[in-house]
Amino acid sequence: MRVSYSRVQDRPGGDLRPLRYGAARRCVNAAFALALWLSAGAAAADPLRVLAFGDSLTAGYGLPAADGFPARLEAALAAAGVAARVIDGGVSGDTTAGGLARLDWALAEDPDVVIVELGGNDGLRGLDPAATEANLDAILARLGAEGRAVLLTGMRAPPNLGPEYGAAFDGVFPALARRHGVAFYPFFLDGVAADPALNQPDGIHPNAAGVALVVERLLPHLLRAIERAAADGPPG
């Protein structure tokens, strides 16, 4: 069965475009905060460790590694002046329950910042939003207890599941962001969902141009999470 998301916003995709002033200023702030953090205790030779903890959207399904989300995000951070290594923690087909079950393994590289991108497969399978919320709540609680900075990304339910399910599912993510006080990007596929020019033939997974747009729009939110990491110091 092919599921299509409702179109969120019309905007042409393509390569990363120049950041506007506000986003550029956040890049400078994040780089400065990171420098302070490194001088306060982390080894200057070690890049910031960013874990992209998700499903096929972060795993770069159907794309060469160089065009996938981790590689494109790492390049964007470098262009913003942030020395970082983006760890690919994406597993295609993973649900929030699967993510919770493999959390110990995913944290083995001791990331400083974690992007939590899970829930899309829960929605595609019509799983109970309450279970999705409980799984993500447990993941965020664990990350918070360990002092790791977090960027939570939201997802939208497929429209064919109806407005009642959609409202319950879509509301899970902002509620969790408020509850745990984490940085939040409302929709991982903002500007990309339902645009044939930005997606692979399956209509669900972004192509290289779609990934570039995802990275461009997500980057300012990640920089805010990095600023929080710098303010709080390394996890431990």
Q: How confident is the model over 148-164, as pLDDT tens digits?
A: 999 999 999 999 999 99
Which is the catalytic residue, given 112, 180, 205, 221?
A: 205
The domain containing residue 141 runs over which residues?
Answer: 21-231
Instruction: Give pLDDT tens digits for 174-218.
Output: 999 999 999 999 999 999 999 999 999 999 999 999 999 999 999
- Mean pLDDT score, 103-124: 97
Which is the catalytic residue, given 55, 56, 88, 221?
A: 56
**Measured between alpha carbons, how far is 35 from 49 in angstroms, rounded to an integer?**
14
- Mean pLDDT score, 135-153: 97
**Range in 12-16, 109-113, 160-164 the model is least confident about:** 12-16
Residue 110 has pLDDT above 70, yes or no: yes
Residue 227 confidence (pLDDT):
86
Give domain status of residue 16, yes or no.
Answer: no
Instruction: Give pLDDT tens digits for 68-84.
Output: 999 999 999 999 999 99
Residue 82 confidence (pLDDT):
95
Residue 66 confidence (pLDDT):
97
Q: Could you confirm whether 56 is annotated as catalytic? A: yes
Q: Could you confirm whether 205 is annotated as catalytic? A: yes
Instruction: Give pLDDT tens digits for 21-72.
Output: 344 444 445 544 454 444 444 444 589 999 999 999 999 999 999 999 999 9
Helical axes 21-40 vs 208-232, angle rounded to 10°: 50
Residue 14 confidence (pLDDT):
34
Amino acid letter, residue 46: D
Give domain status of residue 12, yes or no.
Answer: no
Give domain status of residue 14, yes or no.
Answer: no
Task: Give the CATH number of the domain where residue 149 resides.
Answer: 3.40.50.1110
Residue 228 confidence (pLDDT):
74
**Number of structural domains in the chain:** 1
Give domain status of residue 15, yes or no.
Answer: no
Give domain status of residue 10, yes or no.
Answer: no
Work out the mean pLDDT of the chain and round it to a whole number: 85
Give domain status of residue 108, yes or no.
Answer: yes
Q: Could you confirm whether 180 is annotated as catalytic? A: no
Tokens of 149: 């900075």
Which is the catalytic residue, given 46, 110, 202, 232?
A: 202
Q: What is the DSSP string of the chain?
A: ----PPP-------SPPPPPHHHHHHHHHHHHHHHHHHHHTS-TTSPEEEEEEESHHHHTTTS-GGGSHHHHHHHHHHHTT--EEEEEEE-TT--HHHHHHTHHHHGGG--SEEEEE--HHHHHTT--HHHHHHHHHHHHHHHHHTT-EEEEE-----GGG-HHHHHHHHHHHHHHHHHHT-EEES-TTTTTTT-GGGB-TTSSSB-HHHHHHHHHHHHHHHHHHHHHHHHH-S--
**Residue 59 CB burial class (10 angstroms; 0-12, 13-18, ≥19):** buried
Give domain status of residue 46, yes or no.
Answer: yes
Residue 232 confidence (pLDDT):
67
Residue 46 confidence (pLDDT):
84
Give domain status of residue 197, yes or no.
Answer: yes
